[in-house]
Structure 1
């Protein structure tokens, strides 16, 4: 990442105006070892844009990258929920003027591997992941292929724009689960993505949505936003009490159960809430080492479908339609901001779960 030396401005020397030679970035040299560094601005190619980052959401995936998991490749500049303004253009780019406010899709498939050529680009074997295996948005500037950035309205605040990427992941989940009109849905967990997912569930076929989650600011926000029909607080001390009551009050279970906590214990028990012929959606993020135990007989006898939703690709325009219409509400989900110099503190706050969502912000 530090080998880049200059910014290719594409169409004119004047486009260098106001751009520094160096930028600040949060960079990992290995797992759990990071520092704020001064490095050269990224070089952009003919089909790229340089985005001056204004805000970048902090995701649970960033905690996995912190530990060296998933696609992490060193040195690493994390950040995959970025928004900002276009500061420089590649030579071929004509549809995005300088200064355009944008959000960036962080996933770039190779389009030539086995999965890509079978119309499964999200499962690309050679995926380029901005903020994972190439530099991401925890820096003052980031390079993106122009086809991955999407213009956003001038009146969309940065802290709401930083939610477009997780909302796109939620939109992919909606497509995967195929909600039938009139469905009853149970959502375990209401983290930031869960709050976005809940809204889309209600707009895409669900007649009734129950959110079950431990108490705290996330569930409080979900209640305040009135995004569900019923809310169940699961206590840390005696979770079986509330889980048993939830099962008793829904003797036929739910058409769709979505596990969005990332808790193996919750995922394991989720199967018990799926009605015959229903679906269980694995939405939470797990370590590769996690193992759970299910009865294959129950899955077989009840013809339960188990499916997963990984992330997103190509859903940002759809999400922006929801946002522009005012139907997808983003205000208040990002509840605390940090500078990259405060990354250690940010990690602790996010781990503690005492906020709804954090974001890294720049001047």
Structure 2
């Protein structure tokens, strides 16, 4: 069995009554604004419990991030045959390949996440960035793709990457801002470029109704997740799990009873 944690919406505010549940004025998130997985008890609506068939417990933990990626793809609604660049080595690249992309380039820092993306064949091309000095890789990427990409997805949460991402968008293309940023982060894009090149800027935040599709997608095996959970700890070892996650030597970390 799999439980959908994540968001709660009030269903009565201005945005909810318009069907824009992610913009709920009384938005709550388990584990963020309300007690979540670290609480002794959590009450979950029965409709948010799902049966899984072909996924291990560890693999099932990846349904939630996949559901957020599905929401992002819904918002993008790209045409078949599009070329995409994604900053960050998450589940979005596989979704793009499965939904009409003719080319998917993954650009991410060297490390375990990028290696797993390669192992899963998540993209068609890979650009490994040097954490200290990524400028040479940026220059090579621009040189090899002088017309840019139809779709660029910024999924790292890096202010610096978000600022530069627009320079890879093809004229008439779309830039999706998908990472998590600090409120103090700022970007400096030329309005003349957005206007003259007819670039569409799209924001994508979490999800409310994509979880069932994510369950079906991962359970079908079409989205590959084997090996993405690199470390499993018992609940009693949660402090070690947190340290492992902070060390940047793991892709995903899971806790088991």
2:88 to 171, 185, 189: 189
Alpha-carbon distance in 1 for matches of 2:29, 2:22:
11
2:30 paired residue number = 130
Matches within 5 A, 1:10-49: none
Alpha-carbon distance in 2 for matches of 1:105, 1:230:
34
1:329 to 210, 224, 236: 224
1:307 to 186, 199, 202: 202
Structure (1/2) with the larger strand percentage: 1
1:289 paired residue number = 184
Cα 1:160–1:141 change in 2 (3 A) is farther
1:12 paired residue number = none
Alpha-carbon distance in 1 for matches of 2:60, 2:3:
7
Alpha-carbon distance in 2 for matches of 1:331, 1:350:
18
1:116 to 16, 35, 47: 16
2:251 paired residue number = 356
Asked if the contact 1:184/1:207 (under 8 Å) is kept, the reply is yes
Deviations 1:282-330 (A, max 9, x none): 0110011111211111111101111111001111111122123220112
Alpha-carbon distance in 2 for matches of 1:133, 1:268:
29
Alpha-carbon distance in 1 for matches of 2:206, 2:240:
27
- Comparing 289-298 and 267-276, the one that deviates more: 289-298
Asked if the contact 1:168/1:316 (under 8 Å) is kept, the reply is yes
1:199 to 89, 94, 101: 94
For the pair 1:157 / 2:52, whether they are aligned, the reply is: no
What RMSD, in angstroms, separates the aligned Cα atoms of the two structures? 1.5
**Is the partner of 1:335 in helix, strand or coil?**
strand
Deviation at 1:156, TM superposition (A): 2.0
**Is the partner of 1:210 in helix, strand or coil?**
strand
Alpha-carbon distance in 2 for matches of 1:167, 1:344:
26
1:68 paired residue number = none
1:267 paired residue number = 162
Deviation at 1:128, TM superposition (A): 2.9
Asked if the contact 2:52/2:219 (under 8 Å) is kept, the reply is no
**Is the partner of 1:206 in helix, strand or coil?**
coil
2:126 to 231, 248, 254: 231
Number of matched pairs: 257
Residue segments in structure 2 that go unaligned for 5+ positions in a row: none
Alpha-carbon distance in 1 for matches of 2:31, 2:41:
12
TM-score by length of 2: 0.95
Alpha-carbon distance in 2 for matches of 1:186, 1:212:
7
Structure (1/2) with the larger helix percentage: 2
Residue segments in structure 1 that go unaligned for 5+ positions in a row: 1-100
**Is the partner of 2:78 in helix, strand or coil?**
coil
Alpha-carbon distance in 2 for matches of 1:300, 1:346:
46
